Amino acid sequence: MIKLGAQARLKKYVLTQGLCTGCGACAELCPYQVFYHDRTVQLFRCDLADGKCYAFCPRTPTDYQSLKEQLFDHDDLTDEIGPVKGFFLARAADAGVRSRAQHGGTVTALLELAMSEDLVEAALVSGQNKEGEPEGRLVTNKSDLAVYAKSRFTVSPTLAAFNRIKEEGRKKIGIVATPCQAQALAKVRTAAIEGYTGAQSIGLVIGLFCGWTLAAEKFHSLLGEYCLPLEELKRMDIPPGRNVLELCTAEKTLEVPLGEVEACIRSACRYCLDSTGEFADVSVGAGRYGMGEHQMSGWNQVLVRSRRGEELIGLAREKGVLEICDAPDGALDELKKAAVEKKRQGLENIVAKSGSGKNLLYLKNHTQPRDKKAGRVKSVSRQKRQDGDS
């Protein structure tokens, strides 16, 4: 029996199965593979048995629990949302940063701080080319970060840019990553590949909460129905408590029912179990808990996950670059509930796709809690949250 090479396995088990997340981790590692127009394209045949393209892909078989235990403190691990050292609300102290940001401006403020304090040399963020298509952008001047503060729910092959940039010899790059990109970076960090030094270039990973991304071709068709050119689209948002997707240009905001957006969701997102960026150092999402007096509009929910993230938040508190406060009672439980639902749906879809509860595609050694004690939900204590929020 002929054993398939890494590239062939990637094609057979990921690309043709609709599991490619578009993260870019497999692209630009060599001349054989690139990301082009929302697709991973294999330009030439490669017979390498154990290539980095297969090793770094977040949808090749991986023991993610083992990966968490390698990268994070064991006592911080939770079943629902991964490692948690602290949970609170935050927003940029600079009103100018907040005014240019999607929500609270926390990601921009943290990156500016990391660059100012030489914790990272540059930031890798999602940008777009002249045609309005997403691509990874390296930012070396912190004053330029505000340009990239708006959200667009389309796939950005950010890690393809990382694979190019690391060859320049840069160390300590701060990377803004979706959950699947953070998973790929975790595999990079723990890879034992002779001669590969990519892990040394990862200085910080800031994860973004993510429910799904949009497949480019279908989304462009939807924009056409609303007579909205892609290049005019500035940002996208889902307002709390409303069942619409806002599409914002410089002049107007269109509201598209989420029922119409559903058909545009990238197929790979339906098999994802991570909505909060569990492999980041710090994860940031919009404040979306509750309504009325509990409304968190204009703030970000922040999860501190690693020691590196804890140090950054401590510095942000010391320098006063963030306004930090306790999350409303119940916000953490609400976040966990939403994350568990994402995991449940993803796992059901994986089982349905494979046709077997034992074949979980890319989830190697994935198990459910065997008894009530083992399955007990680990929560962050109130005291621990207060320690992280002061």
Give the Cα separation of 30 and 90 in Å (integer). 40
pLDDT at 146: 87
| Annotated domain spans of the chain | 61-215+266-389, 216-264
Q: For residue 198, is pLDDT > 50?
A: yes
pLDDT at 241: 77
pLDDT at 122: 95
pLDDT at 126: 93
Fold for 216-264, please state it: Nuclear Transport Factor 2; Chain: A, (3.10.450)
The confidence band for 165, taking pLDDT boundaries of 50, 70 and 90, is confident
Q: For residue 167, is pLDDT > 70?
A: no
Give the Cα separation of 240 and 247 in Å (integer). 15
- State the alpha helices, DSSP H only, in the chain: 6-10, 52-56, 64-71, 95-100, 106-116, 158-165, 179-190, 216-225, 258-261, 307-319, 331-354, 382-389
Q: For residue 375, is pLDDT > 70?
A: no
Structure tokens given for 146: 């505000």
257-315, pLDDT tens digit by residue? 999 999 999 999 999 999 999 999 999 999 865 544 445 778 999 999 999 999 999 99
In percent, the amount of the chain with pLDDT more than 70 equals 91
In percent, the amount of the chain with pLDDT more than 90 equals 74
Q: Phi then psi for 182, rounded to 5 degrees?
A: -65, -35
Give the Cα separation of 300 and 105 in Å (integer). 8
The confidence band for 2, taking pLDDT boundaries of 50, 70 and 90, is low
pTM (2 d.p.): 0.91
Per-residue pLDDT averaged across 82-106, rounded?
A: 94
Give the Cα separation of 159 and 350 in Å (integer). 25
Mean pLDDT over the full length of the chain: 89
Per-residue pLDDT averaged across 304-329, rounded?
A: 96
28-54, pLDDT tens digit by residue? 998 999 998 899 999 999 989 999 999
108-159, pLDDT tens digit by residue? 999 999 999 999 999 999 998 877 788 999 999 999 998 888 788 888 999 9
Q: Phi then psi for 320, rounded to 5 degrees?
A: 70, 30
The confidence band for 380, taking pLDDT boundaries of 50, 70 and 90, is very low
